[in-house]
Amino acid sequence: MLETIMIRGIKYEFYKSGFPTGTLTLDIYVDSILNTTQDVTFEEINSEIPGTYAHGYVYFELDTPVFVHVDNVIGYQEIELRLRPTGYTFSESTNFGVIKRHNNEIVNRYGDDGIQDANAPYSIEIFEII
């Protein structure tokens, strides 16, 4: 049975130190083809995650929804998410990164400390309209 999922947003958990500047672009590929992009400025990230050293979620609300087809006979479409910073320069005092999942049943398969394990999944939430 073919099912279509309409993705309207992606939420990443970030940490940040200082107040980075520039833009963070989310590219969404479906079956290796660029489907849509969405930008969030670091100014928006700094207001959503206040403080000099902090972590929290940043929501990428998609201007163009992504449609993904899933079929239990034919298979599924693969989604790839890529983050691209522009106008951003890393420094010891001003930086950011994506947080990996921790303290849940999924990560516990990867070892006692999922945050440090390179195989642990990133902390991402995907929102769809039903």
Tell me how far apart the alpha carbons of residues 75 and 77 are, in angstroms, rounded to a whole number: 7
DSSP-derived letter for residue 99 is P
Q: Which residues, in sequence order, are CB contacts of 77 under 8 Å at separation 6+?
A: 30, 31, 68, 69, 70
With 80 as the cut, is the pLDDT of residue 72 above it? no
Region 104-127 average pLDDT: 60
Instruction: Give the total number of structural domains in the chain.
Output: 1
Region 83-112 average pLDDT: 75
∠ CA 22-9-11, nearest 5°, is: 60
Buried b (16+ CB within 10 A) or exposed e, 13-29: bbebbeebeebbebebe
With 80 as the cut, is the pLDDT of residue 23 above it? yes
Question: pTM for the whole thing?
Answer: 0.79
Mean of per-residue pLDDT scores for the chain:
83
Cβ atoms of 120 and 102 within 8 Å: the answer is: yes
Q: Which residues, in sequence order, are CB contacts of 33 under 8 Å at separation 6+?
A: none
Per the structure, the complete domain to which residue 77 belongs is given by: 2-129
CA distances from 13 to 31, 33, 56, 57, 124 (A): 25, 25, 5, 4, 6
